């Protein structure tokens, strides 16, 4: 995560300039905890993404719905994802931005979207990008899955054509992380 403005009195936040001094190339923004607990709006995240890209860094941009939206179906899920992407669509450069689709209801819960749910959502995100940005962007942008990916589900999720990788949370701290990496490497 980073702040939105650069060096200054932003206690607890890092500036992109500080990250670059540390040779950090990527910044992750939009994670559900930041959206919920720190009230980071879509407008603020658009400002942050512009700041990151203008500074020459790359970004993992997180999107995803809560359980009530998922329970209403794909249309409601996509309404949330589209709202989260709308203000950044002009900045979706496949060379600089990775989208991490993280169904909020699956983060850290051990509950994972089925491979079919992940695929249909990733495909719809890609379809929306094709219609609202460009087909070239849609074909080139990586869309990672990030809802409780683990060694047990990595192979099946990796086999989905629109799942381009994983944003791994808690499982990255466990020995099974190597199995997750091996699964995506084998599939892609």
Q: Kindly name the residue from 40, 65, 69, 102 that is annotated as catalytic.
A: 102
Nearest to 65 by CA among 85, 90, 88, 91: 85
Query: Does 116 qualify as catalytic in the annotation?
Result: no
Residues for the chain: how many in total?
188
Q: What is the rounded CA–CA span in Å between residue 120 and residue 188?
A: 18
- CA atoms within a 13 Å half-sphere pointing along the CA-CB vector of 128: 24
Residue/partner pairs of 181-186 with CB below 8 Å, 24 or more apart: 183/151, 183/154, 183/155, 183/157, 183/158, 184/154, 184/158, 186/155, 186/158
- Other CB atoms within 10 A of residue 15 CB: 18
State residue 98 phi and psi, 5-degree precision: -115, 135
Quickly list DSSP for 91-147: G--TTTEEEEE--GGGTTTS----HHHHHHHHHHHHHHHHHHT-HHHHHHSEEEE-S
Active site residue 156: no
Active-site residue among 31, 40, 65, 122? 31
Enumerate the active-site residues.
Answer: 31, 102
């Amino acid at each position: 995560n980073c702040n939105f403005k650069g060096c200054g009195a932003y206690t607890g936040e890092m500036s992109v300039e500080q990250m670059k001094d540390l040779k950090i190339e990527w910044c992750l923004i939009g994670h559900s905890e930041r959206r919920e607990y720190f009230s980071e709006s879509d407008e603020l995240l658009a400002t942050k993404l512009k700041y990151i890209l203008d500074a020459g860094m790359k970004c993992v941009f997180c999107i995803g719905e809560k359980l009530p939206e998922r329970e209403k179906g794909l249309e409601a899920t996509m309404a949330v994802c589209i709202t989260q992407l709308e203000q950044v669509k002009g900045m979706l450069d496949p060379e600089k931005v990775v989208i991490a689709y993280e169904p909020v209801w699956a983060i850290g819960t051990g509950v994972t979207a089925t491979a079919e749910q992940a695929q249909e959502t990733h495909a719809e995100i890609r379809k929306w990008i094709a219609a609202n940005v460009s087909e070239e962007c849609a074909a080139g942008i990586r869309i990672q899955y990030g809802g409780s990916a683990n060694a047990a589900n990595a192979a099946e999720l990796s086999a989905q054509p629109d799942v381009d990788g994983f944003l791994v949370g808690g499982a990255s701290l466990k020995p099974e992380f190597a199995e997750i990496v091996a699964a995506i490497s084998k599939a892609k």
